[in-house]
Every structure is written in C-alpha cells, then in structure tokens.
Structure 1
Amino acid sequence: MEARDQRANMLGEEKISKVLIKLSVPAIIAMLVNAIYNIVDTMFVGRLGETSAIGAVSVVFPLFMLIGAVGQTFGVGAGSYISRLLGEKKKKEADKTAATAFFSSLACGIIFTIFGLIFIEPLLKAFGATSTILPYAKGYASILVAGSIFTMLNMTMNNMIRAEGNAKYSMYAISLGAVINIILDPIFIFTLNMGIKGAAWATVIAQIISFIFLIKYYLLGKSYIVLSRKNYRFSKFIYSEIMKAGMPSLARQALSSISLALINVAANPYGDSAVAAMGVSLRILSIGYFVVFGFTQGFQPIAGYNYGAKKFKRLFEAIKLSVIWSSIFTLGLSILLMIFAESTVSMFSKDLEVIKVGARTLRATCLLFPVCGFMNVFVSLFQALGKGGEAFILATSRQGIFFIPTIIILPKIFNLDGVIFSQPIADIFTLIVTIILGARLLKKLKEEEKHLSFKENDITKSVFE
C-alpha cells in the first residue's frame, strides 16, 4: 500500500524533470512497441514480394487505428480525470471512473467486433482498397477486427495505469505483446504458410497476452486504483469528464484513420505502388509520432495532478520542459529521415517506384514534423486540465479541419504531388491555431495562479490579525 501511495504522491512532489523521465520514458517505449505491431507486419509481409499485400497492410492500418481510438477515448479520458482526482485526494471517485472506463470500453469492443465483421468489405473499399488489394485486405482485417476487444481494453488499461504513476507496468505489458508478435510473425507467415493472415493472427495473440498481463495488475491488487464491477454506476458527470479529455483523442485517432483512408483513395489512381509507398512512408514517420504521443502521455498525469493540486509552478515547469524536449526530438528525427529517406523506405520494399514515391513523401512530411512536439504537448495539456473544447479543436485541426480539404483539393491541381504535400500544408494552419489557443491558456493559468496567491495572502493576514 505504501508503494502505491508513493506513486500518487510522486506526481506532486518529486523534481519535475525526474518525474517526466520516469513517466514518459516507459510510455515512449510502450508506444514504440505498439508501433512495432504494424511496422513488423509490414516488413514481414513485404518479404512475400507482393506489392498488393503491402498495399493491403496500408489499407487496413486506418481500421486498426480506429480500433485503438475507441480504447484511447476511455483510457485518455479516464486517465486525465483520475490524475486530477488523485491530486484532489478523491480516490473513491477515481475508482468509480476506472470502472466506468473499463466496462464501457468492453461494451464498445463487442459492438465494434459485430458491426466490423458484418461491414468489413465496404469499410475496406472506403479505406482505398483496389480490386487487387481487397482479397488480401479482407483476410488480414477480419482477424484483427475479431480481436479488437483486447486491443481496446489494452489501450484503456494502459492509460489508467499510467494515470496512477505506474508507467513501467504499462510498458512491460505492451512490450511483452510486441515481442510475442515479432516471434510469431515469421512462424505464421512463412513456416506455417499462412501469408498475410498469419501476420494478423500474430497480432491478435500478442494483444490477448498483453490483456492478461494488464488485467492481472488489477485482479492481484497491485494497483492503487481499485477496478471492480461494484464501482460501476451510470453517472452522467463521470461520463462527461471522461469525454471532455477522451473525445479529442477519439477525434484525433479517428481523423488520422480517415485521413490515411483519404490518402489511399487519392493515391489509388496512380496504382498499387503509390498506395504502398504512402503506407510505408507514413508508417515510418509514425515511429516519430508514437514517441511524441508517448512523451505527452507521460506529461499528461503530471499536468493534471498538479493542476488539481493547484501547484502552478510545477505545472509551468512541466509545460516548458515538455515543449523543449519534444521539439529537440522532432527536429533531430526530421533531419535524419530527410537525409536517409531512400534507404529507410527500401527496408520495407524493393519496388523502385515504391522507394521513389515513398522517399519523396517522407521528406515532404518531415518539413513540418519539427513543430509536432509543440502542438501535441498543448493538445495533451488541454486534455489534462479537462478543457475539452480547446483540446477537441486542436485534435481535429491537423488531420481533420485542415487536412481533409487539402487532400481533396490539392491532388486535383497537382496530381500525386498534391497527395504528397497535403499534410505539411495542413500542419502550417494547425500550428497557427495551436499558438493562438496555447497563448490564451497560458495567460489564463497565470491569472489563476495570481488569484490563488492573493487568496493565500488574505488567509495569512487574517490569521495573524
């Protein structure tokens, strides 16, 4: 019990840089490992030597993101609220929030599986599957959708465990699943001659094992938060608090899924090589995005806890360090990927057209990637503070409000280059919105800090008088 209490107190007492490293490094590793699920599948499927099979993985990737988005909605939303409740010393409410998130995610997983399997073919066509890609995509996606319950619950539990300050356990669970996925991929794909379906089975089995590891954390009483069916009661207030922070995550993930589908559809007229190239290049850069997302997941409980505890000095320090550290990383990765674009893409495909288009796409997307750390820190900050409106605007800007018009309009004017440069152009407008909303938030937080300082001074004066 003492160790669990220490994890909660760590958020409000330890040195910010130390806590940020403690929480963000495991979260980054966990997110990188999560990225491996799709990257490893792409690499092994690429060895089958069929461009249509690689294209199938690219087409299914948005669907896999959509599955994760549902789990992230409840996980990020509950995690944000739980961290604030722990800062306010309201543990019972935190327990109720955890139960609400878990059982809601379970229900959504069952519903998604049923409807996903019924409408699998029209979904894949909407995500850009050509007639040659569709047979591969259908076999691969059907298995992933059948195991989507475990993916959603894993996303939910991972975020809740991080919210109570135990990011390491979350990391171990995801890492275990990824290692199993890597081991099973070549066995199922090549040794058992299951092809692309083998990659899907490897992923689902890995997700099931991760789920067992995560649920064990609660069942064996290792958690600070108690996860029990008895704590679940339908509460409009709890759902509203979860959705304030969770909906921006759903919107961001869902729009990422839609934007990838729109990219596939826009690249479709240029053949399977173009579809495969887009998928490969964006999957490579997704490694960078996963690092940033992992870092901000470590930042979020610190921000939420210290805002709940009204420790503004610690909150401002966490914001400053997070912006600096994430920006250094995104700039460094952008430079490396722009220099080694061709050799990086060639790791996934030997098709010369895929390498050519993929390298050009990778360089174009890297142009604005250096500011993604800054933008994502503020999305997470708004979520951590329970400011759902601003978080929703920022989360939907990059791959929704600005990206959807550009991916529809630009290819009609600039052909394939219009597809390639859609994301950097959308990023420019998103950066402007982030600066405006971020500046307003920081000003408001300064005013709250000043108001709190005046109140404390008044109390001190009244005591001495």
Structure 2
Amino acid sequence: MRQDLTTGSITGTMLRFALPMILGNLLQQFYNIADTLIVGRCLGANALAAVGAAYALMTFLTSILLGLCMGSGAVFSLRYGEKSWEELKTSIFVSFILVAAVTLIINIGVFLMIDPIMSLMQVPEVIYGMMREYLWVIFYGITGVFLYNFFASLLRAVGNSLVPLLFLGVSAVLNIGLDLWFVLALHWGAAGAAAATVISQLVSGAGLCVYTLFRMPEFRPARRNCRIQKQILTEISRFSFLTCVQQSVMNLGILMVQGLVNSFGTVVMAAFAAAVKIDSFAYMPVQDFGNAFSTFIAQNYGAGKRLRIQEGIKSAAKTSVLFCLAISFAVWIFAEKLMLIFVQPQETEILAVGVGYLRIEGAFYWGIGCLFLLYGLYRAVRMPGMSVALTVISLGTRVALAYVLSSIPSVGLVGIWAAVPIGWILADLTGLLYYWRKGIAFK
C-alpha cells in the first residue's frame, strides 16, 4: 500500500496519495460536526456555544501534538527518500519517546490549569459549567490523539495514506453512533458528546498503533535502534519543535480570536461555533493536499530529484487554486443552508452572524490554499523556520486586526471576520517573495 512519490505522473501521484488523507480528515471533521450538530439541535444554543468554545481550546492544545507528529513525519519522509532504513527506525523510536513525553505533560497541565485557562478565555458564566464538564471529559482521550497522529504521520511519510483512512472511518462511524446513544438515549448532555469523541479517538489510535507494529515489522525498531542518538534527536527536535511552534501559533491565534468572540455574547459564540465547523470542512481538502505535497517534496528532496520538485510545485499550485475557487463559490451560494444544518430556523440572529462570517471567509479560500502549500514546501526542504514565520505573519495580522477593527463601532464583528483573509494574503505574498527573490535549495 506504500507509494514511492519519486516516480510516475506528478499530478496523478500527488492526487492519489492525497485522496485518502483528504477523506480521512473529512471523516475526522465528522467527529466535531457530529458533536456540534447533535448538541446544537438537541441541547440548544448555550450548549452549542460551550462546545464550540471548548473546541477552540482543545484544538490549540492538541495542535502541539499534531505539530510534533508532522515534524517527525518530515524526517521520516527524508529518510525514506534516502533509503536509510536503520536511521528511519531509530528516528521512529526517538520521535515516539519525545511526543509521548510531551503528551503526558500536556495531559497533566490541562487538568491542573483548566479553570485559569477558561477565565482567560472570558467564558460567560451561563455556559462555564457546561464547557468545563465537556473539556474535563475530552482530555481523557489525549492519548488516542497522540497514537493516531503519530502512526498516521509515519505511514503517510512512507507513502501509505490508505490505512489511516480506514481506521479513522471506523472511528467516525463509532463516534456518531455513541453521540446519538449518550446524548439522546442516556441524556448525558455535552459530556456525553465528549465521551463519544474520547472513545472513538482511543479506538482509532490504539488500532493504528497495533496495526503498524504487527503488520509492518519493517518499521518496528529493533533493540539496536532503541537508543537516543544525539544527532537524530537534534534533527527531529528541530523539525518537530518548529512545526509544533507553527501549529501552536496558528491555534493560539484562533484561541485569542475565540476570546474576542466570547466577549460579544452567546449568540455570536454559537454562530461562530457552527460557521467555523463549516469553514474548516470547506478548506480541509487543501490542507491535506498541502500535507501530501509536503511528503512529495520531502521524498524527492531526499532522492535529489530537483526538476521533479519544480514541476510538482507548479502542478500543486494550479490544483489547489482551482479547487478553492470552486469551494468558495459553493460556500457563498449555500451559506445559509449550511448554517441551518447546525441551528434551528427560528434562531435568526445566529443565522445572520454565521452567514456573514462564511461569505467573507469563503471568498478567499484560495489564500489559505496557497498558504498550506507554502507551509508544506518549506517544511519539506529543511526550512521549517520559514513555515513558522509565515504562520506568525498570518495569525499575528489576524489577531491584531481583529481586535483593532472590532473596536470600531461601524465595523464591529465584520472586522474580526475580515482580518482572517487579510492575514492569509500577507503571508502568501511573503512566502512567494522569499521563494522568488532569495531562492531555495532546489532552484
């Protein structure tokens, strides 16, 4: 099931590799969409606001693990492209120990600091208890998040994007079934939705771990590989740390915006919670295509195929922009119908706010599509620091403009929404200018 991305048709190879990743992450979005839909429809606007705000915090914290796994995956891809099998196994062991240690620290930290964190987020008193209960349950499943993302990154790094999809598919179906049972039948409320997600994450993470270790022994470290080599630890730490910083900065910015949104009350919080799910679902395919593109670049970079890399960049840019334009058109036209998936028709204020958000964001998906490609490009060619710089530009602009523009009475909420695409475009221009003016290793 592994694909060698250094041979064959460039566009076809990238799309075949990306498709299972896209389907997998779309399924992963169903985790959150199932929670949001069932909670919004069955428990009301306050519960929807609580789960939506909790999701922003949850995404920020788990993005640290995701960044570590993505950085490790870049190293795995390079070793695979070089055919350095022993170094690959040692890298797998070192990375696993590193990410597992960080997972433990995060888990302990969340349970100790949950109340101060929620206070910083300006969570309204009316939903405070519900949100706290949801978060307390959801973070019992952080081990499942670690296991799934680590082994999925490993398999994708060596060209196997199908197996992670299969495990995630089972988990998504389980999550929806448990959501319905816990919330509708057992009446466990928001905590029931969290419990469904936790169980599903543990199933997918543990299942993928067992599959990789027992069905793919060529990636199982032998005793000689189970040692911490300083050179390998330094390389993995550099890639993982910078990718982790990138993911954390990205989601810290989102968390800060969530705090600003919270200050506008539960109506805006509920609209934002629903609209962000739609927004994320809409551009998720180009995010995964960017990750597939990064693996393509890393394997070919390790194999020394510079011309193939240049052709791959052109192909990926055309594919991503065309897809984003099509999705932008669809979201603009169907914004209200999409919001009605999550909220009742009589919630007219929530609908109006959500539609406004989607139409502003949706017109500029090409901006984030290009940004995901730039992230993947610089991460793959051993320049993860540039990915971090682009993230800081994008999110720094978003946060600063959101706070400044929303404070102007005539602008208000529209300023928060407009700040996002402005940040995307500034980061795109920076990344492209660096590529054209400074050049990178394969030009």
| Interval containing the TM-score (normalised by the shorter chain) | over 0.9
CA distance in 2, matches of 1:228, 1:185: 41
Match of 2:207 in 1: 213
Distance 1:437 1:17, change over 3 A: same
Match of 2:55 in 1: 61
Tell whether the 8 Å contact from 1:67 to 1:148 is kept in structure 2 after alignment: no
Match of 1:379 in 2: 375
Match of 1:139 in 2: 133
More moved, 274-283 vs 247-256: 247-256
Tell whether the 8 Å contact from 1:411 to 1:417 is kept in structure 2 after alignment: yes
Distance apart, 1:305 and its partner CA: 1.0
1:44 maps to a residue whose letter is: I
Match of 2:71 among 72, 77, 85: 77
| 2:110 is aligned with 1:116 | yes
Match of 1:369 in 2: 365
- Percent identity among equivalent residues? 26
| 2:330 is aligned with 1:355 | no
Residues 146-167 of structure 1 show CA distances to partners (whole Å, capped at 9, x for unaligned) of 2112112211211111001111
Distance apart, 1:348 and its partner CA: 0.7
| 2:417 is aligned with 1:420 | yes
Equivalent runs, 1:113-192 vs 2, <5 Å: 113-192=107-186
Equivalent runs, 1:50-449 vs 2, <5 Å: 50-222=44-216, 224-227=218-221, 231-350=225-344, 351-399=347-395, 401-413=396-408, 414-440=411-437, 444-446=441-443
1:51 maps to a residue whose letter is: A
Distance apart, 1:227 and its partner CA: 4.2
TM-score by length of structure 1 reads 0.90
Tell whether the 8 Å contact from 1:244 to 1:389 is kept in structure 2 after alignment: no
Distance apart, 1:252 and its partner CA: 3.6
More moved, 246-255 vs 414-423: 246-255
| Contiguous gaps of at least 5 residues in structure 1 | 447-465
Tell whether the 8 Å contact from 1:77 to 1:241 is kept in structure 2 after alignment: no
Q: CA RMSD in A?
A: 1.9
Tell whether the 8 Å contact from 2:331 to 2:358 is kept in structure 1 after alignment: yes
Tell whether the 8 Å contact from 2:26 to 2:285 is kept in structure 1 after alignment: yes
More moved, 311-320 vs 237-246: 237-246
| Contiguous gaps of at least 5 residues in structure 2 | none
| 2:21 is aligned with 1:27 | yes
Distance apart, 1:73 and its partner CA: 2.2
CA distance in 2, matches of 1:377, 1:368: 15
1:117 maps to a residue whose letter is: F
Tell whether the 8 Å contact from 1:189 to 1:195 is kept in structure 2 after alignment: yes
Distance apart, 1:221 and its partner CA: 3.7
Runs of 4 or more consecutive aligned structure 1 residues displaced over 3 Å after TM superposition: 227-230, 440-444
Tell whether the 8 Å contact from 1:66 to 1:257 is kept in structure 2 after alignment: yes
CA distance in 1, matches of 2:284, 2:137: 24
Q: Give the number of equivalent residue pairs.
A: 439
**Other structure's SS at 2:280 match:** helix
TM-score by length of structure 2 reads 0.94
1:392 maps to a residue whose letter is: V
1:142 maps to a residue whose letter is: W
Tell whether the 8 Å contact from 1:251 to 1:395 is kept in structure 2 after alignment: no
**Other structure's SS at 1:24 match:** helix
CA distance in 1, matches of 2:382, 2:405: 36
Residues 349-372 of structure 1 show CA distances to partners (whole Å, capped at 9, x for unaligned) of 122111100100111112321222
CA distance in 2, matches of 1:63, 1:237: 34
**Other structure's SS at 1:341 match:** helix
CA distance in 1, matches of 2:189, 2:279: 26
Distance 1:371 1:383, change over 3 A: same
